[in-house]
Chain A
Amino acid sequence: MSSLIGTVKLRETATNAGVVAEVYDGVDQSHLANWQTKWKPIIEATRLRLEQQGAKSALPQSSHWEWDKKAAHFQNLLAYRMFVVVCQGDTQGLMAVATDPRHRTRVADDKGRTGLGLAYVDYLESAPWNRPEHVAQPRFRGVGSILIATAVQLSLDESFKGRVGLHSLPQSEDFYRTNIGMADLGPDNTYANFPLRYFEMTEIAARAFIQGGKNEIESQ
């Protein structure tokens, strides 16, 4: 089940115009069908092109994510929430966030406390036509920032005061460090079988990120 939680504006790169997009809480079959029929052929074409060029390592590291399987797994668990950005009828971005107590802050707050609740972004992916690894001119900018703003809003809603954490794929580290302004805590050797870098947004950083205004979601 999916419900509209607000509208945002994405930047259309061809015209530099702001285009209204919708943010949904929950993934439905239309979002997944769009991923299946529109995202996957582009991802597959990029895979073949990079293989032919001998540059397979340049393939976006999220390319193997199967959102239909993630949705089926997460939809019945209270610990997870999924969000979707839709614009001009297409799924522009997908995100899965965990808000259960397995995930806790590592950066001390202003009272020196760690181990507090946060919204943990498990998966976040923008549509391939928005990414320069796939297309010469990306269609929209801002999908990733809007999804992080949505995670901040969820964190506020869960009484986590805007705190957000995530492990970043190597290709996305600079986005979280520079564009979003999250603290980079370095490689996490406890994460699965490979040490992805862990990033965290504190309560203060979350406030600054939202007050930046670019990512404001207009509630319905």
Chain B
Amino acid sequence: MNAKRTMTLNLTDAEMSALEQMAVAKDLTKTGVLRQALKLYQLIDARIASGEKVFVENALTKEKAELAIL
């Protein structure tokens, strides 16, 4: 639907390994994983920029902790 542009990405072995594992686990291409990551990063960044905080919650204990984002 949207025209796409190509770039070269240099990753360490560990980063590439993590990317490959995520791609298998999520049934996505490596590009698909990176696009997902970018969308989520931008979404969180926008909410923090508007003064909100992001928390993670333990499903069992309901304990919440703020997720620090750089």
Contacts and interface: CB of A to CB of B under 8 A. Distances in A.
A159 B27 CA distance: 8
Interface of A is mostly: loop
B43 interface: yes
Interface string B13-28: 0000000000000111
Interface in B1-56: 1-2, 26-29, 32, 35-40, 42-43, 46
A77 B45 CA distance: 10
Interface residues on A, range: 20 to 34
Contacts, number: 50
A74 B7 CA distance: 26
Interface stretch (A62-70, A99-107, A136-144, A165-173): A99-107
Contact of A102 (B1, B26, B35, B40): B40
Interface of B: 1-2, 26-29, 32, 35-40, 42-43, 46
15 contacts: A5-B1, A25-B2, A77-B39, A78-B38, A79-B42, A99-B39, A100-B36, A100-B43, A102-B40, A102-B43, A116-B27, A117-B28, A117-B36, A158-B32, A159-B29
Interface of A: 5, 25, 76-79, 81, 99-102, 109, 113, 115-117, 153-154, 157-159, 161
